Amino acid sequence: MHLYGRQWTRRELSAHVGRLEQIGGIRRYLGDEGPERGMEFIQVRTGAGLTYTVTPTKGLDFSLAEYGGVPISWQSAGGDVHPMYYEPEGAGWLRTASGGLMMTCGLMNAGSPSVYEGKSYGLHGRVHHLPARQVCAEGVWQGDEYEMVIRGTVEETALFGGHLRMHREIRSRLGENKITVTDLVENAGSDPAPHMMLYHFNFGYPLLSPESTIQFPAGSVTPREAAADLVGYDKWQEPEAGFQERVYYHGLEPAAKAEVRLFQPNFPQAGNRTVPLTAALSWSKDTLPHLVQWKMAGAGSYVLGIEPSNGLVGGIAEEAQQRRLLILQQGQSVRYNWELNIG
């Protein structure tokens, strides 16, 4: 592996430490205060600067992510609230959404609250608030590479309400500032079931500042609100009290690479120094053909949402009306992949 500016074999690296977790690895712990009591966390340290936390209690989603001890993600005011406080009706999702590096939205609805075929679906669906089963977190040597892997299963199901099952696998390597995620969503029920999927990435300060640049894939850009314009969609700013959220739909060209790059020329690090830092998010465009951008530069809600998805955010009823809604038949599955590189 490449670490600390040189190549190492497993034997060479092991000779320098009493335990590998001195450098990096996986650590599990529990929240024990306020609304975070009972929350399970899995922290991954790559040893090269990137540290991130996964929450099995909330959909195996991603909470705080840091580079060199400095955050790259945005955290909501409520923090990592236990899903026992979740209010699924209407926009209640907002009370307990954790923020963090990534919140999964779905598995049946993503976007606005909606009524479809007589059933009510809340904002962004349930999966972010569903605890995972069969969670495994381990570090394994593969030759001279040390790989950290988290696996688990999240199910959205109800009597007479469908049964979707998501198998998630998260991978990182010691010495690399990269996260790779593969999700397999299958219809484990007996009847066809609607399926929406949106990955709600939340990038924040100090990765974002007025000097940051945002590079989107080639393609069209359309504001969600007809009266809105495109001024400043690809730029950032200082926090603004009363800022109204802006949502843009990016139409990706067939030949365009599905990647968004955020560049901060002066990302702060220890010792009052700064380094140039890029966060490059890429994903499988074949199953995530849409890109939703959420710009929220408000005071306290200072966050850029980058949201690859299999639909837009008008809700399940609108997706069905526009003939974009994916219906999974019994036993049918779909695979999603995304990757985040920091450096």
pLDDT digits (tens, 9 = 90+) for 217-250: 999 999 999 878 899 999 999 999 999 999 999 9
Q: What is the pLDDT of residue 227?
A: 79
Residue 256 has pLDDT above 80, yes or no: no
Structure tokens of 267?
Answer: 């990302």
Report the alpha-carbon distance of residue 168 to residue 180 in Å, rounded.
11
- Per-residue pLDDT band for 77 (boundaries 50, 70, 90) equals very high
The DSSP symbol for 258 reads -
Residues 6+ away with beta carbon under 8 Å from 111: 105, 123, 124, 196, 198, 311, 312, 313, 314, 315, 316, 318, 319
Q: What is the pLDDT of residue 194?
A: 98
Nearest to 211 by CA among 171, 238, 250, 187: 238
Which class for 332: exposed (0-12), middle (13-18), buried (19 or more C-beta within 10 A)?
Answer: middle
Q: What is the pLDDT of residue 249?
A: 97
Residues 6+ away with beta carbon under 8 Å from 280: 259, 260, 261, 262, 340, 341, 342
Prediction pTM value: 0.97
- Per-residue pLDDT band for 195 (boundaries 50, 70, 90) equals very high
Q: What is the pLDDT of residue 228?
A: 84
Report the alpha-carbon distance of residue 67 to residue 51 in Å, rounded.
6
Nearest to 26 by CA among 57, 52, 62: 52
Average of per-residue pLDDT across 201-205: 98
Report the alpha-carbon distance of residue 282 to residue 285 in Å, rounded.
9
Top CATH class of 2-104+122-147+197-309 equals mainly beta
Residue 76 has pLDDT above 90, yes or no: yes
Residue 24 has pLDDT above 90, yes or no: yes
- Per-residue pLDDT band for 22 (boundaries 50, 70, 90) equals very high
Q: Where exactly are the structural domains of the chain?
A: 2-104+122-147+197-309
- Per-residue pLDDT band for 6 (boundaries 50, 70, 90) equals very high
Asked if 39 and 58 count as a contact pair (C-beta separation under 8 A), the reply is yes
Asked if 172 and 148 count as a contact pair (C-beta separation under 8 A), the reply is yes
pLDDT digits (tens, 9 = 90+) for 108-154: 999 999 999 999 999 999 999 999 999 999 999 999 999 999 999 99
Q: What is the pLDDT of residue 188?
A: 98
What is the SS3 assignment for 321?
A: helix
Asked if 98 and 78 count as a contact pair (C-beta separation under 8 A), the reply is yes
pLDDT digits (tens, 9 = 90+) for 312-332: 999 999 999 999 999 999 999
